Chains A and B, each alone.
Chain A
Amino acid sequence: MPFKIIASQCTSCSACEPECPNVAISEKGGTFVIDPKKCTECLGYFDEPQCVAVCPVDNTCVVDTSLPRYQAPV
């Protein structure tokens, strides 16, 4: 499942944007959003999702359970 950002909690600090290895994060309407099509949960890049690790507000970058898990290409 890709990650999503809870807009009401996002401080728009921009820390996550440059850390995303998939360039999936961009600013939209004053807060940041993750493009679910690009998010790979950082699999294959890092041990932990970078947006979660760098975000200053806990529980703001969270798993989007409404979407299927990311499937690594075979």
Chain B
Amino acid sequence: MDVSAQHDASSIGHVAEVGEIMQAIAEHKGCGTSGGSGKASCGSQAGQGDLPTEIWEKVKNHPCYSEEAHHHYARMHVAVAPACNIQCNYCNRKYDCANESRPGVVSEKLTPEQAAKKVLAVASTIPQMTVLGIAGPGDPLANPEKTFKTFELISQTAPDIKLCLSTNGLALPDHVDAIARFNVDHVTITINMVDPEIGAKIYPWIFYKHKRYTGYEAAKILTDRQLQGLEMLTERGILCKINSVMIPGINDQHLVEVNRAVKSRGAFLHNIMPLISSPEHGTVFGLNGQRGPSAQELKALQDSCEGEMNMMRHCRQCRADAVGLLGEDRSAEFTTEKIMAMEVKYDAETRKAYQEKVEEERVAKVAAKQEELAELAGASSDIKVLAAVATKGSGLINEHFGHAKEFQVYELSTAGAKFVGHRRVDLYCQGGYGEEDSLETIIRAINDCHAVFVAKIGGCPKGDLIKAGIEPVDQYAHEFIEKSAIAWFKAYLDKVNRGEIEHVERGDAVIRQGALISAA
């Protein structure tokens, strides 16, 4: 059977499941709404929670869809799609830096054949790599031949790898059938507005049907096509995540309306990301001084949308050629030159055995959290605090304070530990910022946290953190994050209740805007 026939056959089987899955999505309204335990049981946050099994099966090993999975599973992007059909004021694809991580940035563009070899090389080296995405640096659907050729080659050689793509949505309605035919599991659509007046401030132009459109007209076409494409995908049972860039003063208030619009059309997850707009990136927003949101502004918007649907909080806004776990980038290990020289042995059995071990670890982690939660049961308090965690993955507190390139932030309350975001603190790229004291920038990045959990920390930063009002916690080194965070919070509450310490609110924190060093 040739590949296209295989796809046809599987898509027939697929159609039968679609109705059930869509029914399940329709019945699933938000998360954690019935238990009174906040959103800690949300599918995007932790385990299956109250997510229907059909959907959970599709997302549980996807690092970009499941917050819990991103500790354990890796993804990769292949940069086969350099062309784009719209211009965004937050994007400048001309800028490329090997040490920088943000969407649109790549070190080299690949042909579909090179991409297929890269996927095999990475999958053989990183057995927890479960997802292959095409996310630019342009728009995958403005490059349909390259995108679908890549999917075809990968489905032939590594059929266990899930496929996904990320698009601006302009060309989406034209390609929904192909997306279904190639068994693409997940599609991400970037939707920043449903009001063309607002869209005109974000998109200077689009190229559509052989014509360049600008202003209101361009934004109207774009929003119509995005929402139409979203509806067509969800009708076919293809999971859709929506990305939105939060641009203060332009669409920050409006994103609540966007959230409602995409939820009503069956989107499964909403990822509201902060605008990246450093002047040195050369984007329109960067050059005209448009600021990005603060950590608290971003969290407040995400919280206000959460009642409507699942919110994604662990997005790293990664490169279009990123490789590895979210939060680490191993793309430098897999340059075209190195890949072409590699002898690749794709061993599906070894991968499967490794992933089974990962599953055992995950089960142990969930059990540990449950145990600690049972201890907390009965405690009642309105106090909520944020805690930062230094981790290299696997859901453990296993990173030295001084080596952390990012901190994961959890909100602790009597409902448990809820992941609410991450803060990058890696050293700035050369130029401009080098002389700034890195400890000061770290404190600014986690200034809204009461504690920071680390595997180890030196005496000097420890003192400075305490002075800044952030408690360094190293007694849970190499233990599970959530279990430890809940245990610490319980002790914190006890001390407050006994009057040993006074609970005080923390201030805001700064979201890192500079170029980021991603190489290990």
A13 touches B212 (CB 8 A): no
Interface status of A6 (Cβ within 8 A of chain B): no
Question: How far is it, in angstroms, between the C-alpha of A15 and the C-alpha of B205 when the chains are bound?
Answer: 15
Question: How far is it, in angstroms, between the C-alpha of A47 and the C-alpha of B212 when the chains are bound?
Answer: 10
Interface status of A22 (Cβ within 8 A of chain B): no
Flag the segment in B82-90, B296-304, B432-440 that touches A: B82-90
Q: Which residues of B contact A40 (CB under 8 A)?
A: none
Name which residue of chain B comes closest to A54, CB basis. Answer: B207
Indicate which residue in A11, A12, A14, A54 contacts B85 across the interface (CB closer than 8 Å). A54
A13 touches B210 (CB 8 A): no
Q: State the Cβ distance, B140 to closest chain A Cβ, in Å.
A: 13
Q: Which residues of B contact A54 (CB under 8 A)?
A: 83, 85, 207, 212
Interface status of B93 (Cβ within 8 A of chain A): yes
Q: State the Cβ distance, B110 to closest chain A Cβ, in Å.
A: 12
Question: How far is it, in angstroms, between the C-alpha of A19 and the C-alpha of B212 when the chains are bound?
Answer: 12
B138 touches A13 (CB 8 A): yes
Which residues between 351 and 389 of chain B lie within 8 Å of chain A, taking CB atoms?
Answer: none
A interface footprint on B72-105 (CB within 8 Å = 1, 0 otherwise): 0000000000111101000001100000000000
Q: What range describes how many residues of A lie at the interface? A: 10 to 19
Q: How many residues of B contact A (CB 8 A)?
A: 16
B210 touches A15 (CB 8 A): no
Q: Identify whether the interface residues of B are mostly helix, strand, loop, or mixed.
A: loop
Question: How far is it, in angstroms, between the C-alpha of A57 and the C-alpha of B95 when the chains are bound?
Answer: 12
Indicate which residue in B94, B207, B210 contacts A57 across the interface (CB closer than 8 Å). B94
B84 touches A48 (CB 8 A): no
Question: How far is it, in angstroms, between the C-alpha of A11 and the C-alpha of B207 when the chains are bound?
Answer: 17
A interface footprint on B207-226 (CB within 8 Å = 1, 0 otherwise): 10011100000000000000
A15 touches B84 (CB 8 A): yes
Known contacts A13-B93, A13-B138, A15-B142; is A47 also within 8 Å of B85 by CB?
no
Indicate which residue in A13, A46, A47, A48 contacts B83 across the interface (CB closer than 8 Å). A13
Indicate which residue in A11, A15, A47, A48 contacts B94 across the interface (CB closer than 8 Å). A11
Q: Which residues of B contact A11 (CB under 8 A)?
A: 82, 93-94
Which residues between 286 and 308 of chain B lie within 8 Å of chain A, taking CB atoms?
Answer: none
Known contacts A54-B207, A56-B93, A57-B94; is A15 also within 8 Å of B212 by CB?
no
Question: How far is it, in angstroms, between the C-alpha of A20 and the C-alpha of B93 when the chains are bound?
Answer: 22
Interface status of A53 (Cβ within 8 A of chain B): yes
Rank and list the top 4 A-B pairs by shortest CB-CB distance, nearest first. Answer: A15-B83, A53-B212, A13-B82, A54-B207
Beyond A13-B93, A15-B83, A50-B210, list 4 extra A-B contacts (CB 8 Å): A11-B93, A46-B211, A53-B211, A54-B212
Could you pull out 10 A-B pairs where Cβ atoms are within 8 angstroms?
A: A11-B93, A13-B93, A15-B83, A19-B207, A47-B210, A48-B212, A53-B212, A54-B83, A56-B84, A56-B93
Interface residues of B (CB under 8 A from A): 82-85, 87, 93-94, 109, 137-138, 142-143, 207, 210-212
